[in-house]
Chain A
Amino acid sequence: MTMLKIEGVHTFYGNIEALKGIDMEVNEGEIVTLIGANGAGKTTLLMTCCGAPQATKGRILFEGTDISRMPTHEICQLGIQQSPEGRRIFPRMSVYENLQMGACTQDPKHFDSDLEMVFDLFPRLKERISQRAGTMSGGEQQMLAIGRALMGRPRLLLLDEPSLGLAPLVVKQIFDTIKKINKENKVTVFLVEQNAFHALKLAHRGYVMVNGNITMSGGGAELLANPEVRAAYLEGGH
């Protein structure tokens, strides 16, 4: 079943057209990845799904509801949570308070079990529970950003470059956890990544974005084997 359907979306920053008519969909239970070079419009597409900025043309449907004209906080309350680019945790608040903020739209009765679930996924966060979030390492902050998003009980989790600036070992750990979240918690994941190799290995399906257009799509393994993708995003790396 289609969970998120993006139909002919155009997004502008002033006069600059960042997205030039995007069509894609994310099905329930999938991990879908969007890869592309810097400035291709990946983050813009993710943010457009969240309503900031709003799409100028086209529609975005989440479980049949058009969310393209809704304000961000209402979209979140439908069950879409994101771990934004650059993590954007609250640096002067403790880990615990950050997780509380993630749960702020949810019924408090779920809080304890959700917290347990996040700590199971990221035992490191439990050790750091009363530490100021800004004083943690990049990897821990990324875990916190994902954990915070999970506290909002999402059905669709949007992840923007979770591997940014992290050591290869930590990247692997994060990606393993994403897989676990998808499998065990039944959360659909829409992953935006520059680290094409890891992302495509993990994803069920993938899209390739160039200059605000989707140029290719297909299964994760299929794209990974595609010579064009290899030439553009994978050669020289890994």
Chain B
Amino acid sequence: MSSLLTSARVTPAEIAKELAFFAVIAFMMSIMILGVETVDRPTGLELALRWDLVILAIASTLVGRLGLIVRREHMSRLLQAVLIVVSAVMVFEMFVRFRDMDDRWAAPVTFDMAFQSVTSVIVFVAMIAVVFAIAYFSASTKRVVTEEEKAQSISSRLQVAYRTNTKKIGFVGILFFFIFPLLFGENRSAIDLATLVMIYIMLGWGLNIVVGLAGLLDLGYVAFYAVGAYSYALLSQHFGLSFWLCLPMAGIFSASFGIILGFPVLRLRGDYLAIVTLGFGEIIRVVLINWYNLTGGPDGIASIERPSFFGLAEFSRRVPEGVTSFSDLFGIDYSSMHRLIFLYYLILILALVTNFVTMRLRKLPIGRAWEALREDEIACRSLGINPTNTKLSAFAIGAMFGGFAGAFFATRQGFISPESFTFLESAVILAIVVMGGMGSQIGVVLAAIVMIGFPEMFRELAEYRMLIFGAGMVAIMLWRPRGLLSFRDPTILLNMSKKEKVAGENS
């Protein structure tokens, strides 16, 4: 090994010291988490030590670390890649053993698994190749990176491409979501998942008004979602009002709750505001649980009416006398998918309306005032902006879209209970906004897909997906600490600068 490290500026002693340090850390972390296992014996639960896992954890850490040292010292790419691959294989072996094997001293299983069949060999080789390729091509061999090369790095090129093509990307995205049911029309789970993601996109866009634009950290956004859902459910159950009538009403109710919340918290900022909004979210949930006569308490509200096709037709197979069914209206065969696809388009339109309104508001004085308020409240006051009205309008409009989404949620599920409106929901919505890059509309879409879509898609991975999810969050916060698309869209300056340029060229 030492002959390979001859080009290093570090001495082998230094490397050994660094590796020893990491070995100790790996040991301390793995001994408790991986190394101790409870085993059910006839005599009762006993603790068993899994030395194989601990050894693998330490070994993979050492090899991986060595790879990073080689990378840091800009030595052979091949060596970097090989070390990373070996480390990855060890980690894989560790997981397999952790899950399936009790025998401490069994032979390595990775290769047995890999050579079971032709397919498994191909999969194994392909995975190795992918890891190797990533490690090899991302390997760094040069000590000095010039400015030019930095500017051409993939991420900055992507950034530039995104900035110049925001409109096109948005358009392609919308087009994709519109034709999505045509591609996956028969796949029930795909449509369901897309609808779910779309609900969160809408909630993210709604919360983006409050958090991203106005800079008011709201941890209780789910309260407005709940108000919208219960508004629709109760109005439809007690007064028999249709979805289309209740949708705007749900928005109005939520907006008024936004104002009710807004008033007492106007003086608060940052952490203090976050805590009060958190409390508000919990108050709504607790009220929903305890006001049994009205809300049904923890039992929730069941068999909420499904939306009709704009009041023209119903989606059920058998419809009562005098009501048209959707399939009859269009003269097509009945399919249970019709309702789902209709719901998908409904939430898509609602979400796009949210987006459109936000984009418009941003260009209007009120939207500009929100952004200015986020930047500097004192300066805003001294320019004659009424901070009370500005904040309340942000709360109200954000809450209104939460209410729309809530009404949609109620009609889609057909059943709501306070359990759907826990703090975790608020946290997820806020995470979508923060991860997407505050104030970025497309960022919210990406983050919603990552946060909601991926965990659902990889449901088979069971509890491991939460592990990967956590790792993904950490990775995003490490590499893109201000969100996936973290810059403020210039609202007006692009056109201005073009005009200026033209004017400059003419003069």
Contact = CB atoms under 8 A, between A and B. Distances in A.
B493 A105 contact: no
Contact of A84 (B369, B378, B387, B488): B378
B383 A148 contact: yes
Nearest to A78: B384
Given A84-B378, A90-B379, 19 more contacts: A50-B381, A52-B381, A52-B382, A81-B382, A88-B379, A88-B382, A92-B375, A93-B372, A96-B493, A100-B368, A101-B368, A101-B372, A101-B383, A101-B385, A104-B369, A129-B497, A130-B493, A130-B500, A148-B383
A76 B491 contact: no
A97 interface: yes
A72 B488 CA distance: 29
Interface string B429-442: 00000000000000
Contacts of B500: 129-130
The dominant DSSP class at the B interface is helix
Interface in A45-86: 50, 52, 71-73, 76-77, 81-82, 84
A104 B385 CA distance: 8
Interface of B: 365, 368-369, 371-372, 375-376, 378-387, 488, 490-494, 496-497, 500
A54 to B, nearest CB: 13
Interface in A118-162: 129-130, 148-149, 152
Contact of B371 (A77, A93, A96): A93
Q: Which of B379, B385, B500 has the most CB of A within 10 A?
A: B379
Nearest to A77: B384
A81 B375 contact: no
Contacts of B369: 101, 104
A156 to B, nearest CB: 13
Given A76-B382, A84-B382, A104 B376 contact: no
Contacts of B385: 73, 101, 104-105
A44 B375 CA distance: 22
Contacts of B372: 90, 93, 101
B368 A76 contact: no
Interface residues of A, number: 29
B490 A104 contact: no
A206 interface: no
A90 B380 CA distance: 9
A96 to B, nearest CB: 6
A101 to B, nearest CB: 5
A97 B381 CA distance: 16
A89 interface: yes
B346 to A, nearest CB: 36
A73 B490 contact: no
A93 B439 CA distance: 13
A100 B378 CA distance: 17
A142 B163 CA distance: 30
A90 B375 contact: yes
List 7 tightest A-B contacts by C-beta distance, closest first: A76-B384, A105-B384, A88-B379, A130-B493, A72-B381, A130-B497, A90-B375
Contact of A96 (B375, B382, B386, B496): B496
Contacts of A148: 383
Nearest to A151: B383
